[in-house]
A and B are shown apart, each in its own frame.
Chain A
């Protein structure tokens, strides 16, 4: 029954295709189109085409992109956001790896409980958790007093922890840490312990076992975690909004401002598109580099 089979296949594959088109492809295309449009008189987007007696006229422009390229502040903001995202990803990796390894190597009955602890923060609201950091990093809190006490003892100027790049970094690392831990754990948990026995047996000290066996085998987990952290960190706006103060803004804040405050949708769209392309290029480059350096990715 090939007809019936084909129908069944469409029934199963159809809905995913439909929502991919509706929720991912269509919005992206709308954004691309909007980035070549003019802002409306009252903000928003002016119509992309006009229909009159002579037919349909497109009303498009490259101004958004040329404006973007003409002002160095945007390039600077992209670079700054990129730097934040790289540092956040690196910090998450360094913090998450030992934790994921510990969970993966703890007795089976403990693992689920420990994973639950990793996911637990998701049960409270994102904004509440960020505001909690506002209090923790605030000038009246113990942490600030401790740091400034030490600085005073060293005869140095006091610093503000809150509303600083440091606060943005802490907030971003805190928010994204579980996205690094989970893929790393999923990978590390599958490692065959016999490989470590074999490495020890063949003359590798414990630290060599890690760098020769565990770490190379965990590379797919590292790559997955890095992508899951890097991309949202690059586009973050809530954390820098709340914890960063005026100096802490990232490209995500500018995009948000274009849409909500300046109401210049076309320019906001152009910024978004540039960021999307940037992410795609960087991810592709990273994947290419990983494949070249390692010969192949073992999954």
Chain B
């Protein structure tokens, strides 16, 4: 995905934003800079504060602390109706007593745009979202996908500077959800408006975003491009939350430059590379993506490779890939993901088979505990 060109000032500048509800810190000292034209995702488990952060940006919640700047202007004293920001809500929040045209024209009506112009622009907007004949329908007569398009058309009709999307795909079925991902990316490129997208679905975040902020317990844990987040998680939480990951508790046993020997309970010694110098005796976690592991049998280990004996305990056939759980002889269970590239692959390995799993020493990532 193309990285947007850098503007001199970030469009949205969140500085140390906090919001408490009683004892709970829903958003806790969050700072983020989002560039104009970016597709930016707030990703985290439910209750991590991502929706509250979205509501702070929209202006529905007051800040307890910190500031939010949009295009260099402090938004603290600006009510939601005066912010050039619109939101696509989780259940779309279409006005049930207004027709599709009434819903889409609402922002223009509120701004006192002339009736004739509203009609023209609503007609254009309906054509843009491929619902030209739906103008006089009511929201309860639309399908989920149609409602979502109306909600997006409504939020884009007066060209806000920023569009907030609160889990807009969560209410759709799987097939439609995947189709809408592609459409959302296309739409964002066409309109060129900055999107801030909230989701708990890491697959969605990876597929859609230019950059992702992973949140947990009200704090931003890591900000980065999808591949940076996936390949270089900064801690156990991110590694575990994004995709699947084997997480092995380890202690640094020996250091040779950036190549280290790690000792893990039940496994003995593991070779790994680190990016920053570590000290012997340091405790940490080795994160290993299941697709970086191989299953093969009885080969001599190469010098830069790790190799362990184990038994296949579970096998989950998923069509394009098969997920195996292999119990190593020391008792540790590892997950391995293999593509079903050849037609016979599935029958070669079976539950109970004695196998070896192997990975290159660059495949793992050492994380501080």
Contact = CB atoms under 8 A, between A and B. Distances in A.
Interface string A75-117: 0000000000000000000000000000000000000000000
Interface stretch (B69-77, B80-88, B186-194, B322-330): B80-88
A202 B96 contact: no
Contact of A201 (B80, B90, B94, B97): B80
B95 A199 contact: yes
B91 A194 contact: yes
Interface stretch (B32-40, B105-113, B266-274): B105-113
Interface string A191-217: 010110111111111001000110011
B60 A202 contact: no
Nearest to B97: A298
B93 A203 contact: no
Which of A195, A200, A202, A295 neighbours the largest number of chain B CB atoms within 10 Å of its CB? A202
A201 B79 contact: no
B158 interface: yes
A205 B97 CA distance: 19
A198 to B, nearest CB: 4
A212 B108 CA distance: 13
Contacts of B111: 203
Interface string A214-246: 001100000000000000000000000000000
Interface in B116-167: 138, 154-155, 158
Contact of B60 (A200, A216, A294): A200
A197 B92 CA distance: 11
B88 to A, nearest CB: 9
A201 B95 contact: no
A202 B155 contact: yes
Interface string B245-257: 0000000000000
Contacts of B99: 295
A213 B95 contact: yes
B287 interface: no
Contact of A202 (B90, B91, B106, B138): B106
A290 B106 CA distance: 22
Contact of A203 (B60, B94, B158): B158
A200 B91 contact: no
B241 interface: no
Contact of A216 (B80, B86, B90, B97): B97
Contacts of A295: 99
Given A194-B89, A197-B89, A203 B81 contact: yes
Interface of A: 192, 194-195, 197-205, 208, 212-213, 216-217, 294-296, 298
Kindly list the 8 A-B residue pairs having the minimum CB-CB distance in the complex, ordered from nearest.
A198-B93, A203-B110, A194-B93, A202-B107, A200-B80, A298-B97, A201-B87, A203-B81
Interface of B: 58-60, 79-82, 85-87, 89-91, 93-97, 99, 106-107, 110-111, 138, 154-155, 158
18 contacts: A192-B93, A197-B58, A197-B60, A198-B95, A200-B59, A200-B79, A201-B81, A201-B86, A202-B81, A203-B106, A203-B111, A204-B110, A205-B81, A208-B110, A212-B95, A217-B96, A295-B99, A296-B138
